[in-house]
Structure 1
Amino acid sequence: MSAGQMHPGMYPVDGDLVRRLVAGQFPQWAELAVERRPSGGTVNAMYRLGDDMVVRLPLVQSGAGDVSMEQVWLPRLAPHLPVRIPEVLGAGEPALGYPWPWSVYRWLAGEHPEAGALSEPVPLAEDLAAFVAAMRSITLPAAPQAHRGGPVASLDAETRAAIKQLREIPQEGVDCDAAAAVWEEALRAPDWDGPPVWLHADLMPGNLLVDGGRLASVIDFGCTGLGDPACDLFPAWNLLPRDAREVFREALVVDDETWIRGRGRTLSQALIALPYYRRTNPAMACNARHVIRAVLDDG
């Protein structure tokens, strides 16, 4: 669970506010119990509502667009995907001083997978590849541009700034020269020259739910849209061990250039996240360290 103030401008969400928002806009659920759910998420608070629902509220303005995105696109994407995704049961509006839209979803059971502690890594890799392939095959009109879905070079300034920051935090033990070399290789790789494909665009362990070691659900589609297929290769390094990583790659038939871009994109996200979240979000910082090790060990 997040600790401390992750971002400036965070709205002070608590259980009492959630109860009052639900009672005011969804009176049929006013008597249900409200319970804060521990989460490693960065821009939303999650509250269990009764036994079968969950309320998701942005903590910062940058998360408000994600809620609206999901309300529009989740019902359209769900029929095309091999696992469950969030189902919007209620679209909440700003009220009681709370300034942003929010949603009530059906509760999805499962556990977040943990890198280094997977019970079925190879079958999970196959499940993840099937999900990514299904996303790529979707054709829906008026699709948005995915967050992070553009050229690798668009991440260059922020990635280099993060490497510079990490050079000043020697206790993290990051081989910044090696990280910079991997990033330079990603920049040299040709940009995707095919048609943009549908992406989840944020396949972090915290956005996956597993049951019995197998993929049961994928959540948090706030970054979804069209872009470079390399953007959905993140699980190769943020979750899967080496043998399962190869299964994931083979199942998706990933060419060398796309693999290099995917590795660079995954590393970039981790390099940026580590100095930002190292004191405020242990889950994000821990996964960032894992990614950096996995990418650098991958050569």
Structure 2
Amino acid sequence: MSGPRHPLIEVEVSAALARDLLVEQHPDLADLPLHGRVHGWDNITWRLGETLALRFPVREVSAPLVATEHRWLPQLAARVPVPVPAPVRTGRPSARYPWPWTVVPWFPGTVVATTDVTERTPWAHELAEALAALHVPAPADAPVNPYRGCSLASRADVVGPRLTDAPGIPHRAALVDAWRDGLAAPVWDRAPVWVHGDPHPGNLVSDAGRLTALLDFGDLGHGDPASDLATGWLTFDVAGREAFVARTAQVRAWDDATWRRARAWAAGLVPVFLAHPEEYPLMARVGRHAAEQVAAS
């Protein structure tokens, strides 16, 4: 692996290890070429042939998230009008690798975080429709995510000090004001809805003016949709956000308090994206953009 060591990775998944696991558990796929490894916060993804990918958690805390995807994504994929990585095959822990893993479809296009923000407005309505389709009441046994979909107050002891004390936070005063405004807004008082948990630009794929995939449902949970709607500031500029909000209002008429909480979520996520700028420069770029958008709105 070239470049700085990714600090979150506990288990490195080499091509040799990925191949061994295929031979062991899915031998009919083992002769396909492995290429294009991508590192994320919690996972390593290897492209497998032209139409598939292998997704491996790289730290113990993220392994249960894969099990959540295995259980729920096949059901949710039928609901969301944008392609999502529902499992094609599932992998089990073994002597070679300690956690469950997944074979998923490979979606054509470009990771949105690498694209110019002005190119995203044409598909802002598609993301609004995808999230609106997901934001419906969740069943009682839906997974609980203590970091997304929850109340802002439940995160205040962690997020507040991050915003005020973490070094190098741009537009700090505006972010603190947005966070406090969200805390002051009325709380979510409806039935808990499904939430993706992490629909930032690193988990979106676009191609030729269309949104072609919504990735990484590891943070799937249920509760307040405001944490998902924060993508309006993470992903878009003013024009894109206006299109995103307008289409969301047509499909899901969330109140002003929900959008205040969404803006607060965007502010609170900025220190997370900026936490490892050398190891994750693309995520740092998302964080700087979000700070600019919150400050300008």
TM-score by length of 1: 0.90
Q: Residue type matched to 1:260 in 2?
A: R
Q: Residue type matched to 1:121 in 2?
A: R
Gaps of 5+ in 1: none
Alignment of 1:149-188 (within 5 A): 149-166=149-166, 169=167, 172=168, 174-188=170-184
Name the CA distance, whole Å, in 1 between partners of 2:12 and 2:130. Answer: 35
Question: Relative to structure 1, is the Cα distance of residues 3 and 162 closer, same or farther in structure 2, using a 3 angstrom cutoff?
Answer: farther
Tell whether 2:283 aligns with 1:287: no
Alignment RMSD, CA only?
2.1
Question: Counterpart of 2:74?
Answer: 75
**Deviations 1:100-139 (Å, cap 9, x if unpaired)?**
1111112111211247714653331110111111111365
How many aligned residue pairs are there? 292
Q: Secondary structure at the match of 1:47?
A: strand
Q: Residue type matched to 1:15 in 2?
A: A
**Deviations 1:37-71 (Å, cap 9, x if unpaired)?**
234x2110001112221000011011101111111
Question: Counterpart of 2:59?
Answer: 60
Identity over the aligned pairs, expressed in percent?
34
Q: Which segment drifts farther, 137-146 or 29-38?
A: 137-146
Q: Secondary structure at the match of 2:218?
A: coil
Q: Which segment drifts farther, 244-253 or 107-116?
A: 107-116
Question: Relative to structure 1, is the Cα distance of residues 111 and 86 closer, same or farther in structure 2, using a 3 angstrom cutoff?
Answer: same
Q: Secondary structure at the match of 2:81?
A: coil
Question: Counterpart of 1:121?
Answer: 120
Question: Relative to structure 1, is the Cα distance of residues 284 and 154 closer, same or farther in structure 2, using a 3 angstrom cutoff?
Answer: same
Tell whether 2:260 aligns with 1:260: yes
Gaps of 5+ in 2: none
CA contact (8 A) 1:121 1:240 kept: yes
Question: Counterpart of 1:49?
Answer: 48
Q: Residue type matched to 2:53 in 1?
A: V
Alignment of 1:215-254 (within 5 A): 215-253=211-249, 254=254
Q: Secondary structure at the match of 1:38?
A: strand
Question: Counterpart of 2:201?
Answer: 205
Q: Residue type matched to 2:267 in 1?
A: L
CA contact (8 A) 2:143 2:221 kept: yes
Deviation at 1:273, TM superposition (A): 2.8
